[in-house]
Amino acid sequence: MSQVFSDGVVARATEEINSNPPSRRHAENILPHRHKVASPPRQTLFQEFKQNFNETFFSDDPFGKFKNQKGSRKFILGLESIFPIFEWGRGYNFKSFKGDLIAGLTIASLCIPQDIAYAKLANLEPQYALYTSFVAPLVYAFMGSSRDIAIGPVAVVSLLLGTLLTDEIPNFKSHEYLRLAFTATFFAGITQMALGLLRLGFLIDFLSHAAIVGFMAGAAVTIALQQLKGFLGIKNFTKKTDIISVMRSVFSAAHHGWNWETILIGVSFLAFLLTTKYIAKKKKNLFWVAAISPMICVIVSTFSVYITRADKKGVAIVKHIEDGVNPISVDEIFFSGKYLSAGIRIGLISGMVALTEAVAIGRTFAAMKDYSLDGNREMVALGTMNVIGSMTSCYVATGSFSRSAVNYMAGCKTAVSNIVMSIVLLLTLLVITPLFKYTPNAVLASIIIAAVMSLIDIKAAVLLWKVDKFDFLACMGAFFGVIFKSVEIGLLISVAISFAKILLQVTRPKTAVLGKLPGTSVYRNVLQYPKAAQVPGMLIVRVDSAIYFSNSNYIKDRILKWLTDEEAQRTASEFASIQYLIVEMSPVTDIDTSGIHALEDLLKSLKKKDVQLLVANPGPIVIEKLHASELSGVIGEDKIFLTVGDAVATFGPKGVDS
């Protein structure tokens, strides 16, 4: 007998209310020139659906430019939207190329040492990162629409991938490990493409900026701590990434003595790198000093080790690095078997994280140079890049924060800088790779530490604290989750806190009591404007949210609580009792059936208290639904007003507003 919910609720309420007509003091007092609340032009169901669908999935109107075009033109436009290089390539000139060449060479010199280092985070041989930096930027240059992003392996994704893969296959020297890495890369690409093609790019917005700040900082600390292994030359190092396990490893290794040659190399090069970074930060036009310093470190340290044969004294070196270009790896991917599901899962997670990073970078630079970036198209580009990468011995690539900033400062104009970088990487693979054999691990550790330092964004955290405490909490949750547990847990906490915030938002919307600002007909929150005066005999409440199933009961109860509280207060101060409740609906953009039921319940409760409900400024959707549910008739069409001022003028004490 769930009819109790709907069976004639409206009818019954109508009956109850009409049977007992309220005293309408000023109903005759309708002012001239007063506008009525209008309903929007009626739409068919199809029109309505189409509009909502477009606004949800195609809000950026990607097909707008195809309208009113000839067939051949449409083909060219289509080609351009898949490969933007055909669009900007036509206007490309020598001046742009000069900028791109310099930027490309700069990021290449930064990229090579970072790659060799980052591959270690993913527990892969160094050449796989170099392969990645050759193929991925090339694909991106043709398909991507960001002009400033620098593509390649990045620290955080490498660490995440390494952790997830090792959880699945602890022996990272096995061939299965490498195959699973390619599998994960393939599915990371598929995930990214799918999100873009299905126009679901907005899903990545669910990881909030605050959570990203915390997650990145936590990952940076974790990565830096991991480097203590190479930095101090410790042999038996924990496989866990949390700070407690790592510190225990470090101090238990202290008994056996750390390797002093290693520490000397590490500390001196780290000091050099940090100094150049500091210089670059102070003088923006010296950015290139910091950009090439990792390469200098690698060259100097490799040469020193080679001369002194320090590797015989316990200084760990790269030892082996394959030369030659990327081998084909398409048959290495697990398309069946027991590792398939793990590959899909790892690909999904690392693909999403990689996407978050790339889109954040893309948006930042697009805003700085004021060009538009189509998030969904960008995802297709990144996804294709990783799918092709997985077939050519690459692992998950994305946009790098540090290299993109260098790219931007070095004056890149287009994605051609990525092509330049890619060509440099190709030459490196063909010619000079074997030279990295003597590069000491300690230098790589220093390079990583210096690189990830800039992921710790203290200013952003301070701003979070100042602006929004909940955001700060999300940030700290992610940070401590990463450093005390693992990157996965930190990521999980970030997502959970972000969702908790959304749920809180939709469950507990704000309501405010309004008062009249003296000398105006403007009604404002009395807590914000202490001068705003309440109207005798009336209570004006504004609901600051759409009324949905998730909050309809709360809103109803909250409005009744305002009424009870206010009545208690007014009785105490011998103010007139409340006869009218005005609900200001301007911010209520939508209402669903639960919301309609809540309004009905509110009406019934008010009826019992002998209080009249007046409604001010319902929006287009709300007024339509009030009509559809026939609730507008129950409230009374003459009790729905354009503004709070109109409602007060009609039913309020004379002279308050007219």
- Residues 2-31 binding its own copies (CB under 8 A) are 2-7
Report the nearest approach of its own copies to the CB of residue 108 (Å).
Answer: 17
Cα separation of 381 and 367, whole Å? 20
Shortest CB 487 distance to its own copies, Å: 17
β-partners of residue 31 are: none
Is residue 516 within the footprint of its own copies (CB under 8 A)? no
Element of type H or E holding 462? helix 458-467
Site for its own copies in 216-235 (CB under 8 A): 216
Q: What is the 3-state composition of the chain as percent helix, strand, coil, each rounded to the nearest 5? A: 65, 5, 30
Stretch that binds its own copies, among 68-76, 229-237, 267-275, 363-371 (CB under 8 A): 363-371
Tell me how far, at minimum, the Cβ of 12 lies from its own copies, in Å: 9
Question: Which region, judged by CB under 8 A, interacts with its own copies, from 104-112, 390-398, 400-408, 411-419?
Answer: 400-408
Rule CB under 8 A: say whether 604 interacts with its own copies.
Answer: yes
Q: Footprint of its own copies on residues 167-226 (CB under 8 A)? A: 202, 205-206, 208-210, 213, 216
Q: Which residue has the tokens 């189409």?
A: 50
Q: Among candidates 475, 326, 452, which has minimal Cα distance to 400?
A: 452
Is the backbone of residue 390 left (phi > 0), alpha (psi -120 to 50) or beta? alpha
Q: Site residues for its own copies, window 623-652 (CB under 8 A)?
A: 623, 625, 628-629, 642-643
Restricted to residues 56-85, the positions that interact with its own copies (CB under 8 A) are 56, 59-61
Among the listed residues 161, 564, 593, 144, the one whose alpha carbon sits nearest the alpha carbon of residue 342: 161
Name beta bridge partners: 37: none
Confirm if 620 and 578 have CB atoms less than 8 A apart: no
Give the dihedral sign, CA 411/417/422/428: negative
CA angle, 432 then 99 then 388, to 5°: 55
What is the contact mask toward its own copies in residues 470 to 509, using x (rule: CB under 8 A)? xx--------------------------x--xxxxxxxxx
According to DSSP, the residues that pair with 512 across neighbouring strands are 542
Which part of the chain contacts its own copies (CB under 8 A), choosing from 238-246, 429-437, 533-541, 600-608? 600-608
**272 touches its own copies (CB under 8 A):** no
Q: C-beta of 368: minimal distance to its own copies in Å?
A: 8
Residue type, 26: H
- Assess 355 for contact with its own copies (CB under 8 A): no
| DSSP calls for 474-530 | HHHHHHHHHHHT-HHHHHHHHHHHHHHHHHHHHHS--EEEEEEPTTSS-EEETTT-T
Residue 68 or 72 having the CB closest to its own copies = 68
When asked if residue 519 is in the footprint of its own copies (CB under 8 A), the reply is yes
Given the complex with its own copies, which of 325 and 463 has the nearer CB atom?
A: 463
Which span sits near its own copies by CB under 8 A: 167-175, 224-232, 333-341, 587-595?
Answer: 587-595
Considering only CA atoms, which of 475, 551, 45, 181 is closest in space to residue 173? 181
d(Cα 389, Cα 328) in Å, to the nearest integer? 10
Nearer to its own copies, 139 or 555 (CB): 555
Count of residues that bind its own copies according to CB under 8 A = 114
When binding is defined by CB under 8 A, the residue of 109, 192, 422, 551 that contacts its own copies is: 551
Q: Is 587 in the site for its own copies (CB under 8 A)?
A: yes
